[in-house]
Copies of this chain bind each other. A is one copy, B any other.
């Protein structure tokens, strides 16, 4: 059966003239044991909520997964798909792309991401198990990972936390083949992996990855420990290839016809390319239904469960109606209180209302809880062995945190949000990107969002981060200007079910600018006129903490006889996707265009063009109190007025 995987991998890579045959050939035996003896799933019901999850962290070995899915009988994974490996519109992309209906739980490829997302899956399972019991949620998360996954730093963060949290239903099968792209791993890698994972309090075993009985025994043992498990599977990359076995030459290129012919001989696989003998296919198809009776039994339990409604609602993740009245209430309160406050604090107040009402919200922070205000009083912490809470102390592990949030979102049933400083968005960028690519709802709370954080200085002050985040496709960066917009932006982020969001929030206090309540979520179109002027000669665009400066500048300009419009832009990404008429009504008129943001100019050029006025940053920040820095960098109402008047005078 495992040779069927090897043959399909060789043939598909050869036909595509591109791809990675070595890993599928090396790990075919391990995968065969896993899928025929352990994985609880039903290929006919791929989206069964309580299925075991499989994560191919070594995503370059995608043909391993595609071969498995075809052999197991997942309907979407046809032989034609395999033959169209790596071609446009095929679901057999170069690296696996998330599609639960086809049995693909996660997009992988960038090394380290799969193994670090997996603890998020495993944690989601435990959280939902704590809520819904073994009857509805009680499954395993299996991972195949490579040397590269283990070298990546993110694997340290997430695996250390997985060990700390005792995520015992997580099993990693490590393809310990000693070969990397540059050659033997000994060129650069001498970690004692056993000791390393013991230091994280994992269970560690080592087996011959081509001894199927040993593999079975090891996985069975892994399921008995109270720790996460890693099994070092000693394999031969390119197993069966006559000259490329155990060599990096089998890693990332087609083997070539001679080598494939030799491998067919070595593996005693005389069949034509893409041909699987009936008995082998039948055995695989049987394996594909091995969870069918479990699925049926689960369905019966669900039907008779008092929790059925709650469970289905949780897994559907649609909470728009739950939060709408709360958000409106918050908006009224912020507008009427009209109390200057930092948006990280108003965000905390929003969470105080929403978290108790929406159990799906699971919060956390990378050891900055008090600063980012993501924790509210009431709900308990999620701790090792007790997964009933709503808050995770992720430790100083921004990247692992972001990956684990992706995992929880992918698992379903959870809306993860967690916080760090905006400047540390860089640490989690690969996971934010992957969340966007996978269309996952993950909310990154990123506070201390500019030089306004003050004395901590340039290492901690975001300057280019807003631009860099707005640059990622399918990502929404919100930067509210006061409590009212904060509530609106949270609503938009939570309801944005197919994209990650960033909440960029201030450390410093901001005036309330939306003092008149509207039921309408004005932030929903990304930008709106906050304060208009008849026959406006100037339009000032601004976001977050700088909207206040724009309003001050408007007052001065109005008074000086230059009618000025202020456009608040809580979400440039949303604004850019509005219909052209709406967008151009702001941009295409004969007012002087100004943008004010304590960050770099780049994202604003779309609105103001090369001739517009920009008041913001062009260098890194400095260490000093916030108000000193705003003056030092000339981000003031006076600077806006001066530049507008200079332009008018020309």
Interface residues of A (CB under 8 A from B): 16, 18-19, 59, 86-88, 90, 93-95, 97, 107-112, 147-149, 151-157, 160-161, 163-164, 180-183, 185, 187-196, 198-201, 365, 367-371, 381, 393-397, 399-400, 423-424, 426-427, 429-430, 433-434, 436-437, 454-460, 463-464, 467-468, 470-474, 584, 587-588, 600-603, 605-607, 609-611, 617-620, 622-625, 628-629, 632
State whether B607 touches A610 (Cβ < 8 A).
yes
Question: Whole-angstrom distance between the alpha carbons of A628 and B89 in the complex?
Answer: 11
User: Would you mind naming 27 contact pairs between A and B with Cβ atoms under 8 Å apart?
Assistant: A88-B624, A88-B632, A109-B459, A110-B460, A112-B396, A151-B396, A152-B427, A155-B156, A180-B395, A182-B367, A182-B369, A188-B367, A188-B394, A188-B395, A195-B195, A424-B430, A429-B429, A437-B458, A437-B459, A437-B620, A468-B471, A471-B600, A473-B618, A587-B610, A606-B610, A607-B610, A609-B610
Inter-chain contact B151/A460, CB cutoff 8 Å: no
Given contacts A152-B153, A602-B602, 10 further A-B contacts (CB under 8 A): A18-B454, A88-B629, A94-B456, A94-B460, A95-B460, A110-B427, A149-B396, A151-B397, A161-B188, A602-B605
Q: A356: shortest Cβ distance to chain B, in Å?
A: 21
Q: How far is the CA of A468 from the CA of B464 in the complex (A)?
A: 8
Q: Which of A149, A429, A611 has the most CB of B within 10 A?
A: A429
Chain B: which residue is nearest A431 at the CB level? B426
Knowing A153-B399, A160-B189, say if A474 contacts B587 (CB, 8 Å): no
- Residues of B near A605 (CB, < 8 A) are 602, 605-606, 609
As for how many copies of this chain the complex holds, the number is 2
A473 touches B463 (CB 8 A): yes
Closest to A248 in B: B370
Q: CB distance B201 to A86 under 8 Å?
A: no
Contact assessment for A602 and B610 in the assembled complex, using a CB-CB cutoff below 8 Å = no
Q: Which residues of B contact A436 (CB under 8 A)?
A: 620
Contacts of A609 in B (CB 8 A): 605, 609-611
When C-beta atoms are compared, the residue in chain B nearest to A430 turns out to be: B426
Q: A429–B474 Cα gap in the complex (Å)?
A: 20
User: Which B residue's beta carbon lies closest to that of A395?
Assistant: B188
Q: Which residues of B contact A427 (CB under 8 A)?
A: 110, 152, 429-430
Decide yes or no: A473 and B602 within 8 Å by CB, A152-B396, A153-B155, A367-B188 being known contacts.
Answer: no
Q: Which residues of B contact A470 (CB under 8 A)?
A: 602
CB of A198, distance to nearest CB on chain B (Å): 6
Closest-CB distance, A90 to chain B (whole angstroms): 8
Contact check, B182 vs A370: say whether CB atoms are below 8 A apart. yes
Contacts of A16 in B (CB 8 A): 455
Is there an interface contact between B457 and A97, defined as CB atoms closer than 8 Å? yes
Residue contact A191 to B199, C-beta cutoff 8 Å: yes
Which residues in B have their C-beta under 8 angstroms from that of A396?
111-112, 147-149, 151-152, 180
**CB neighbours of A455 from chain B (8 A):** 16, 18-19, 86, 94
- State the CA gap A534–B284 with chains docked (Å): 69
Closest to A601 in B: B606
Cα-based distance from A214 to B89 in the complex (angstroms): 65
Q: Is the CB of A110 within 8 A of B468?
A: no
Establish whether residues B600 and A602, one from each chain, have CB atoms under 8 Å apart when the complex forms: no
User: Which residue of B has the minimal Cβ distance to A398?
Assistant: B152
Question: Given A395-B188, A429-B426, A456-B109, does the pair A603, B602 have CB atoms closer than 8 Å?
Answer: yes
Bound Cα distance from A161 to B151, whole angstroms: 9
A193 to chain B: which residues have CB within 8 Å? 199
Interface centre among A87, A163, A456, A467 (most CB of B within 10 A): A456
Contact A201 to B190, CB < 8 A, known contacts A396-B152, A467-B468, A623-B95: yes
The reply to whether A395 and B151 form a contact with Cβ atoms under 8 Å apart is yes
**List of B residues within 8 angstroms of A620 by Cβ:** 436-437, 473-474
Q: Which 5 A-B pairs have the closest CB atoms?
A: A153-B153, A609-B609, A188-B395, A156-B156, A605-B605
Q: Which residues of B contact A367 (CB under 8 A)?
A: 148, 151, 180-182, 188
Q: Let me know if A600 and B182 touch, CB within 8 A.
A: no
CB distance from A82 to the nearest CB of B (A): 14
Q: Which residues of B contact A198 (CB under 8 A)?
A: 192, 195
Q: How far is the CA of A436 from the CA of B370 in the complex (A)?
A: 30
User: In the assembled complex, how far is the CB of residue A314 from the closest CB belonging to chain B, in whole angstroms?
Assistant: 26
Pick from B429, B437, B460, B473: contact of A600, CB under 8 Å? B473
User: What is the bound-complex CA distance between A224 and B393, given in angstroms?
Assistant: 39
Q: Which residue of B lies closest to A91 (CB)?
A: B623
Q: Which residues of B contact A183 (CB under 8 A)?
A: 393
Give Cα distance in the complex from A601 to B201, angstroms: 47
**Closest Cβ of chain B: how far from A202's Cβ, in Å?**
11
Which of B147, B153, B434, B624 is the one whose CB lies under 8 Å from A459? B434
Asked whether, in the complex, the Cβ of B393 is within 8 Å of the Cβ of A182, the reply is yes
Bound state CA distance, A161 and B191, in angstroms? 9
Shortest Cβ distance from A497 into chain B, in angstroms? 18
By a CB distance below 8 angstroms, the chain B residues around A456 are 94-95, 109
Q: Give Cα A468 to B425, complex, Å.
A: 12
Q: In the complex, how many angstroms separate the beta carbon of A195 from the nearest chain B beta carbon?
A: 4
Q: Is the CB of B190 within 8 A of A164?
A: yes
Nearest Cβ in chain B — how far from A123, in angstroms? 13
